[in-house]
Amino acid sequence: LEDALRQAQKMEAIGRFAAGVAHDFNNILTVIFGYGGIMRMSDTLQDDMREKLDRILEAAERAGSLASTLLTFSRKQPIRLERLDLNRTVAGVESFLRRVIGNGIDLQVAAHPGPLPVLADKGNLEQVLMNLAANARDAMPRGGTLSIGTSRLIIDDAFVRCHGFGVPGEYVELWVSDTGVGMDPATCRQIFEPFFTTKKSNGTGLGLSIVYGLVQQHKGHIRVESEPERGTSFHILLPLAEEGRSFEPAEASQDRLPRG
Ligand code: ADP
């Protein structure tokens, strides 16, 4: 519990900082995109210059996606809960995930056959999947398999006693597994910390802390299993929404700290 509190306070401070940086960053990018776009349309631009300009604009795109990562992280926008079917959300991003992981990695989806209603923010769920898939890709530089699956799960008192986590109730489960490099236990313990990365200059260390924060906001649970050289699995549990009831989208709390 103390860990969770410390993490929440850290996230809060970093979140405020990140929002400020992202805001200034976006203003700078607007200038680069604006003038870059005008230059690109010029008839007198030589081909080699056009190529260099395209490189500049590509880098600016990446900077833009980093800025949006920072904004999500700082959670300035309130989450929008709606009734969703988890399988549909997964299916909706499948082709995008395929592009994220590239050709060398096989993607397998094992969808639970029945309905999986959750109250969730669609964009947030997509971001969770994207961050986990991007990490899986990085963990499999020589190829492998990324498996994404869904199921339903009932957590009862016996489960909590046996596994040492969870709150009794009915849940929808999302798991994301890879056959990548895996992690040792010491790494596993730190992965949800903001800015923890083993990727040197290529990593921000924000991906999983964002995932953690989003899962908390949805009153869910996340847990990781990993073995060096074998692979890693993330399991996310989200409370099952009551079945057969229509739901009006509602604004959730803007508070990004985990509760309870
Ligand atoms: P980043 O990807 O920028 O490093 P993350 O917060 O997404 O930041 O991940 C933190 C660290 O957790 C990674 O640097 C990596 O060491 C480890 N990690 C995350 N996902 C995996 C995975 N699927 N397999 C192996 N290691 C992982």
| Cα distance between residue 35 and residue 43, in whole Å | 15
- Complex ipTM: 0.99
Distance 163 CA to ligand 1 centre (A): 24
| Cα distance between residue 81 and residue 96, in whole Å | 22
Kindly report, residue by residue over 226-252, the tens digit of the pLDDT: 999 999 999 999 999 986 554 444 444
pLDDT at residue 144, as a whole number: 98
Q: Give the SS3 label for residue 106.
A: strand
| Cα distance between residue 107 and residue 101, in whole Å | 8
The mean of the pLDDT values for the chain is 86
| Cα distance between residue 60 and residue 42, in whole Å | 19
Read out DSSP for 120-168?
E-HHHHHHHHHHHHHHHHHH-TT-EEEEEEEEEEEE-HHHHHHHS---S
Distance between first and last Cα of the chain: 10
pLDDT at residue 164, as a whole number: 78
> Residue 203 — very low, low, confident or very high, per pLDDT cuts 50/70/90?
confident
Q: Where are the beta strands (DSSP E) in the chain?
A: 80-85, 105-110, 117-120, 144-155, 169-178, 221-227, 231-239, 250-251
pLDDT at residue 62, as a whole number: 86
pLDDT at residue 258, as a whole number: 40
7, 72, 135, best to mutate for ligand 1 pocket (most atoms within 8 Å of CB): 135
The binding-site residues of ligand 1, defined as CB within 6 angstroms of any ligand atom, are 131, 135-136, 139, 178, 180-183, 187, 191, 196-199, 203-209, 232
Q: Tell if the pTM clears 0.95, that is, is over it.
A: no
| Cα distance between residue 8 and residue 133, in whole Å | 24
pLDDT at residue 205, as a whole number: 87
Kindly report, residue by residue over 38-80, the tens digit of the pLDDT: 999 999 999 999 999 999 999 998 888 888 877 776 765 678 8
Kindly report, residue by residue over 18-40, the tens digit of the pLDDT: 777 888 888 899 999 999 999 99
Residue nearest to ligand 1 atom 14, measured at CA = 197
| Paired tokens of 183 | 């992690």
Kindly report, residue by residue over 138-153, the tens digit of the pLDDT: 999 999 999 999 999 9
pLDDT at residue 257, as a whole number: 40
